[in-house]
Chain A
Amino acid sequence: MCGQNMLDIEGLVLRRGRRLLARRIDLRVDRGAFAYIVGPNGSGKSTLLRVLAGFGRPEEGVIRWSGRTIGEWGGAYRGEVAFLGHLEGIKPMLTPEENLAYRRLLVGPTGWRVPTPSPFFDASALPDLPCQRLSAGQRRRVSLACLEHSAAPLWLLDEPLTSLDHDGVAALGGLLARHLMAGGTAVVASHQPLPPTLVPATVLELGTKR
């Protein structure tokens, strides 16, 4: 009933601390499609993505990925997910290429793939300096480069367009499109409009009726 690379959320109740963020979320994302989460600040977009990434377990509701709940996946779920949060997840003391190497060590050889080269995310084109000396946009490119190498089928992107210029937004659109084309799935939260080439299968609005 729930196929490969399919995300199925049923009756999810979102809380942060004691604050109720969303009463009941039902969401289904098919293989090769992505869901677009919109809503004002504090409406629970990030919390939803963090729950989907397995940071904490929901009190009520079920999340199924490829037919199994996160609990049933256990530790193996971590290999299924690529998460891009508010924080870049890159080390400021390492250069862009060293950061890629470090991430590669973390995800292991099976979680790492060599993509068709795209000039925008090419880490070797960035200055060979510790990332703390790069601009915010350049650091964002490093973390997107890590994402580009990720072989995980489920991508969870929280405000991925932050600090990206016009070319960057287009490049990210292409990156996501290639991921979906290859049979991946994604959930994207953003309060910025997505590039027109990307058409979400589902739009979930959070924080509208409280």
Chain B
Amino acid sequence: MSGRWSRWIHRWASPPYFYRASRPWGRVFAVVSFVAIAIGLYGGLWLAPPDFQQGNGFRIIYVHVPSAWMSLFIFVFLAVCGLIGLIWRIKLAHAMASAAAPIGAAFTAITLVTGSLWAKPMWGTFWVWDARLTSELILFFLYLGVIALSRSFENQQTGDRAAAILAIVGAVDVPIIHYSVDWWQTLHQGAIFRGNPFDGHLHTTVAPSMLWPLLVMWLGFMCYFGALVLWRARSEILLRQLDTGWAREAVGAP
């Protein structure tokens, strides 16, 4: 069993094989993500009933909440890729991480923007130091740090490995940051505003007609990430391996 697994891993870790074999997967992900996001948007924007408190304003959660989930998931993805790359010295893992980091940062940015758009009707201002938004802001800075570190080395490999270490430490820190910001929030509760509409929708009573579009949107976002990360990783390894025969062949260079 383990032999089969390690053979499978090593086959996929080989850049030429990955380059060829990942193309159909990327297409599958792209199609599924398109369909799922279309269904999810239809379900969320038309079928789900308006919220009894927030009216139609709540519908932004169909972008906001899956983006927030993705922003956390992709950071964990970075750390796992980093671990694989550092321990088994699989370069493909670093290429994947390097492809995924900007996508994660983008999801974090979307979370922040949609969150502040939601804050405007809720609290009358575009920014409040709400626990979730604050954690996302720090997560955004963590992403920027990982990206900046990986790009500041002349030697690609050094940058990859340094960024991998930072991503692993960051992934350990992310739950601590969340916890600390939550704690900080409870201390200052009432100072600025009360209640958290995000939690109201996710943890108490959610009507099934409101919930299923959210889950479908999340599936769509996951597949969108899958398609995008494969596509970016494919160009990344082509760039990195341009001095090898297979890569020159793939881009049609002499």
Contacts and interface: CB of A to CB of B under 8 A. Distances in A.
B243 A20 contact: yes
Interface in A103-159: none
A17 B243 contact: no
Interface in A1-41: 16-18, 20
A57 interface: yes
Interface residues of A, number: 5
Interface in B102-145: none
B89 interface: yes
B240 interface: yes
Contacts of B14: none
Nearest to A19: B243
A149 to B, nearest CB: 32
B243 A18 contact: yes
A165 B243 CA distance: 44
B149 to A, nearest CB: 17
A20 B241 CA distance: 12
A18 B240 contact: yes
Nearest to B239: A18
A17 B240 contact: no
A82 to B, nearest CB: 25
A16 B243 CA distance: 13
A57 B89 contact: yes
A18 B159 CA distance: 13
B241 to A, nearest CB: 9
Contacts of B157: 17
Interface string B139-158: 00000000000000011110
B148 to A, nearest CB: 19
Interface string A33-62: 000000000000000000000000100000
Contact of B154 (A17, A20, A57): A17
A17 B89 CA distance: 15
Interface string A54-79: 00010000000000000000000000
Contacts of B89: 57
Contacts of B155: 16-17
A6 B84 CA distance: 33
Contacts of A17: 154-157
A18 B160 CA distance: 13
Contacts of B154: 17
A18 B243 CA distance: 8
A13 B227 CA distance: 34
A18 B242 CA distance: 9
Nearest to B154: A17
Contacts of B240: 18
A102 to B, nearest CB: 28
B70 to A, nearest CB: 32
B114 to A, nearest CB: 40
Interface string B218-250: 000000000000000000000010010000000
Centre residue among A16, A18, A20 by max chain B CB count within 10 A = A18
B21 to A, nearest CB: 22
Contacts of B243: 18, 20
Nearest to B155: A17
B162 to A, nearest CB: 13
A17 B154 CA distance: 8
Contacts of A16: 155
Contacts of A20: 243
A57 B161 CA distance: 13
Contacts of A18: 156, 240, 243
B85 to A, nearest CB: 13
A18 B156 CA distance: 8
A17 B243 CA distance: 12
B61 to A, nearest CB: 45
A20 B156 CA distance: 14
Interface of A: 16-18, 20, 57
Given A17-B156, A20-B243, 7 more contacts: A16-B155, A17-B154, A17-B155, A18-B156, A18-B240, A18-B243, A57-B89
8 contacts: A16-B155, A17-B154, A17-B155, A17-B156, A18-B156, A18-B240, A18-B243, A20-B243
Enumerate the 5 nearest inter-chain pairs by beta-carbon distance, A residue then B residue, closest first: A17-B155, A18-B243, A17-B154, A17-B156, A20-B243
